Amino acid sequence: MYRPDGPVELRPVGEVEFVQGLAAAAATGLYGPCRAASAIVGHADLKLGDRVEPVLQALQAASPNRFRGIRHTVTWDPHPDIENREKEGVLATADYRAGAQVLARKGLSLDIGVCFPQLPELADFAKAVPDLTIILNHLGGLTRVGPYANKDNEVLPAWQQGLAAVADCPNVHLKLGGIGMPRLGFDWHTRARPIGSEELATSIAPIMSYCIDQFGATRCMFESNFPVDKVSFSHHVLFSAFKRFSNSYLASERAALFHDTAARAYRISDG
């Protein structure tokens, strides 16, 4: 729902305008009890540097009560069969960091996606903008297919070390999701009979546990990543698996994973 014309940098404003309309319609109660989109994350190109400010102002104007920040995925990998969203080293560029500083000054958050080899770069970036709330998506970009297939003895230690470096940055939160994407290296999307929640909970436990051990429950949040993850399992199965997996955690930790971390990171009020 980007705007079809006008300045390229302002076209993502159309997406926020659209979701704001849906949220306002839901808030009337005419369409049932669901209250959609308490918070909205849009997009702006941080490579604009200081020139990103009018874009952020336009996004805020499109949703004065729900807009919370932007998502700018910066995935890059040297292997040609891995999809790139950005150029190499963008997190270290002066323009991207200047744009991030504008975001921080306005009290907005940054959702970000990387390929796992970029995690050390993300740690350096997070330290350079300590006042910026950063939400790292999809388990830090773990990939176990293509050039990274059958290399768990190399891939998992690299992912773990990179994630630990990012966890040392207190301004970064981690989304525990996206595990249904085929790039994670599981076979769930190929099965004739879909995986159930009990087996799924067991399968995801090593990865999820490591993430929570590094960040703590108060900086982690369960993530659905639907409809993308639908290729591997249903929404109900995923959240049942989250419940099974987290059953051994304290009640306060489970509250953080399912609700409190997200509410704090995105500044969502229950009222």
What are the DSSP E strand ranges found in 11-124? Answer: 40-42, 67-71, 109-112
Q: Which CATH superfamily includes the segment(s) 42-265?
A: Metal-dependent hydrolases (3.20.20.140)
> How confident is the model at residue 118, as a pLDDT?
98
Residue 248 — pLDDT band, cuts 50, 70, 90? Answer: very high
Q: What's the pLDDT tens digit per position in 65-107?
A: 999 999 999 999 999 989 899 999 999 999 999 999 999 999 9
Q: Is the pLDDT of residue 34 over 90?
A: no
How far apart (Å, rounded) are the C-alpha atoms in residues 158 and 28? 49
User: What would the mean pLDDT of 110-131 be, rounded to a whole number?
Assistant: 98
Specify the length of the chain in residues.
271
Strands 40-42 and 134-136: unpaired
> How confident is the model at residue 237, as a pLDDT?
98
How far apart (Å, rounded) are the C-alpha atoms in residues 177 and 259? 14
Q: What's the pLDDT tens digit per position in 129-185?
A: 999 999 999 999 999 999 999 999 999 999 999 999 999 999 999 999 999 999 999
> How confident is the model at residue 144, as a pLDDT?
97
User: What would the mean pLDDT of 44-52 be, rounded to a whole number?
Assistant: 98
Smallest CA-to-CA distance from 21 within 40, 47, 44, 45 is with 40
> How confident is the model at residue 271, as a pLDDT?
55
Q: What's the pLDDT tens digit per position in 207-237?
A: 999 999 999 999 999 999 999 999 999 999 9
User: What would the mean pLDDT of 186-190 be, rounded to a whole number?
Assistant: 96
Q: Classify residue 191 as exposed, middle or buried by CB count within 10 Å of its CB (0-12, 13-18, 19+).
A: exposed
